[in-house]
Structure 1
Amino acid sequence: MQLSATPYEERLTAPRSWWLVSFLVGVSFALILLPFGTLPLLGGLVGGTAAAAVVASSYGSVRIRIVGDSLIAGEAKIPVTALGEAEVLDAEEARAWRTHKADTRAFLLLRAYIPTALRVEVTDPQDPTPYLYLSTREPERLAQALAAAREAAAAS
């Protein structure tokens, strides 16, 4: 397995505001448990905050990366040779591809808090998936890394 010429890795971390929301969930639990005393109040604050933080962290732990000759996006792994052209989507175009332009057969790695995306054609005739929609903060860099990985795979 040969490493791609332009390695790429991105973690789609949750925004900072979600951590504040996690704390507010803990405060809500604390207020619910307030009538039962100080210890349950503190337990609700700590437990509620921790539970909400775990959910925020797990949702934001998904990664997009190019490893060798494969694109790994969340749970999906596809060889770069099965991918066609990549289209960089700005915020407006990305919204359109998430809504009225979307194909139900497409693979969507969607994070609503990331406004930009990359749409990549799937050229494998055996795969019914027409394209991959990947939320990414750096769509141009991902497109360049995919192109470099395809060239490297074709050369070997």
Structure 2
Amino acid sequence: MSVSPSDQPSPTTAARFRERLVPGPAAWCGALGLGVIVGVTLWPLSHVAGIVSAVLAAASTLGALIATAPVIEVADGELRAGRAHVALSLLGDVTPMLDAEAMRTALGPALDARAYVCLRAWARTGVQVQLADPMDPTPYWLVSTRRPAELAAALRA
């Protein structure tokens, strides 16, 4: 089967950056630990109920963690962080925060209450993206990512 030029993804549709902020190993262990706690709690009542409840608690917690993990993406001329999106043409300066201390400062004493924040505790680095839209009251976006240098480069390209 031949591929015509119209079948090829155009530069505007291909994602320049994409990351799903799924939890790290500690969160997975916490979800499994919750299942164990539920199972041990119900074990004296019924062994079957304890096992079934443990599996359901762990599985539903893991499912919720995956379902609520936001996607950070630069594609189609937009930056998407979770459900929010903004045109790349409305972005200003991009500051990657390459360590946890820089991110902690940006989220603490330096945080503007009007900023849009897409944060996940298990992604300890991120980027701060200034908005150049005078009609938008949001001064900047603060977005968690495990790959801040790559996201910053995609936003600058």
User: If the length of structure 1 is used for normalisation, what is the TM-score?
Assistant: 0.87
Alpha-carbon separation, structure 2, partners of 1:58 and 1:93: 28
Does residue 7 in structure 1 map to residue 16 in structure 2? yes
**1:76 shift after superposition:** 0.6
Do the aligned partners of 1:8 and 1:65 also contact (CA within 8 Å) in 2?
A: yes
The percent identity for this pair of structures is: 31
Residue pair 2:129, 2:142 contacting (<8 A) in 1 also: yes
User: Which structure carries more relative contact order (alpha carbon 8 Å, separation 6+)?
Assistant: 1
> Which residue number corresponds to residue 33 of structure 2?
24
CA deviations over 1:28-53 (Å, ceiling 9, x no partner): 11111112212111111111111221
Task: Indicate how the Cα distance of structure 1 residues 82 and 16 shifts in structure 2: closer, same or farther if over 3 A, else same.
Answer: same
Higher helix share: 1
Indicate which of 107, 113, 119 corresponds to 1:104.
Answer: 113
Per the alignment, residue 132 of structure 1 pairs with 141
* Structure 1 gap ranges (5+): 149-156
The answer to whether the 8 A contact 1:117-1:135 is kept is yes
- Matched with 1:81 is 89
TM-score (normalised: structure 2): 0.87
Name the structure 2 match of 1:42: 51
- Listed one character per residue, the Cα deviations across residues 52-81 of structure 1 (whole Å, up to 9, x for unaligned) are 21222223x211111111111101110001
Q: Is the 8 A contact 1:83 1:121 kept in 2?
A: yes
After the TM superposition, which segments of 4 or more aligned residues of structure 1 sit over 4 Å from their partners?
A: none
RMSD between superposed Cα atoms in Å: 1.7
| Preserved contact between residue 15 and residue 73 of structure 2 (Cα < 8 Å) | no
Cα gap change, 1:5 to 1:50, in 2 (>3 Å): closer
